[in-house]
A = this chain, B = another copy of it.
């Protein structure tokens, strides 16, 4: 009877369904931690190493540190946090890209997950809220972080506002100075935002005093965020990607998607998302990777990347997560932590390394990758077709996910295969329209 109630019924059957959603009370109540399934089916996840690894307990929020190395497959999402997820609009719909299919004249069935309904514009809120929630429980008063493109800083500012924590964001000056709207947005959410290098930390001052217009870098901003939290016992430092607990928090995306496919009696043949550090990709696919490892399922996973930083095509080795070698070393696919990458609009994809979990899966052949040209014309043209057929403006990073899904749909057109292709649209582009204008030459 329950199944009958849930099944979409009114539009002439399931295949007509343009949107699949869950009710708030159907939200997944546990995160999926893939670590034990990796250990049992492939090999254990290589731990972080180096002197800095010993210092983790002083840097990280307690519960997040436990989760980082947990051997439990399923971890309860606290009830209060579930309520906050609902306030953030979860569950989020899974859309059938029916207009896009028609436009491409493909026999493939395309579905996309709508992380673009996020209050700050990206999937980053899923872990920001979890980290802020646990920090609050632990009695922490303030969270510090760095941000590059600004998505993570905005998400943390939002999460701190909702959990009544203070928030300090060190933002790479070169970006801080021209993203006026995103900066105001963080401030409106109550965050203190400093262009980095700033004169608020010793690490920053050294550079700031020499040049108060120093453009900064992600590694300098990391140093500032870390120093700020180390010097204040009621503050903690947070990270928005790469780490195991971050990917686990993001599995809410894939777990919802699984339930949504169950509702329409379908299962994806191909799953696609963009990949920088790996948090949206991991959150989307890991619950399905679990199916592959433990059940008799087959899915092709494709990471959409930029030729600017195709980290999954790098080397699998221990490397630092940051330029300044402040973090422990992680075993991951990396292009080298001191490599310079050409600027792209999809700045969130411009990172040297990939999450250890996804790197291990890559090593074992579970994840394919495609890297798109640096000029981004190919990608943004496809994002425009998506906009004009499906109506949503993807974030520049998510445009890569869209482009890759369209490429796979066109392959199906040539072969006649009716594959089910699922892709994640990890954020919206309302704050990035200037980037589209630049690439598309609009006036």
Contacts and interface: CB of A to CB of B under 8 A. Distances in A.
Interface of A: 1-2, 5-6, 8-12, 16-21, 23-25, 29, 79, 82-84, 86-89, 93, 95, 98-99, 114, 117, 119-121, 158, 161-162, 180-182, 184-185, 187-190, 384, 387-393, 428, 430-431, 433-434, 436-437, 440, 442
28 contacts: A1-B5, A2-B5, A5-B5, A6-B23, A8-B24, A10-B25, A12-B79, A18-B84, A19-B89, A23-B23, A87-B391, A89-B93, A120-B391, A121-B430, A162-B389, A180-B437, A181-B434, A181-B437, A184-B433, A184-B434, A187-B442, A188-B384, A188-B387, A188-B433, A189-B387, A189-B391, A190-B388, A430-B430
A428 B1 CA distance: 39
Given A18-B86, A119-B393, 20 more contacts: A1-B5, A2-B5, A9-B25, A17-B24, A17-B86, A18-B84, A19-B24, A19-B89, A20-B24, A24-B93, A87-B95, A87-B99, A87-B390, A99-B162, A184-B433, A184-B434, A188-B387, A188-B433, A188-B442, A431-B433
B18 A389 contact: no
B162 A391 contact: yes
A392 B18 CA distance: 26
Contacts of A9: 25
A137 B87 CA distance: 39
A184 B189 CA distance: 27
B89 A442 contact: no
A117 B89 contact: yes
Contacts of A117: 89, 117
Nearest to A119: B391
Contacts of A184: 433-434, 436-437, 442
Given A5-B1, A99-B162, A190-B388, A87 B121 contact: no
Contacts of A88: 391
A96 to B, nearest CB: 8
A17 B83 CA distance: 8
B83 A16 contact: yes
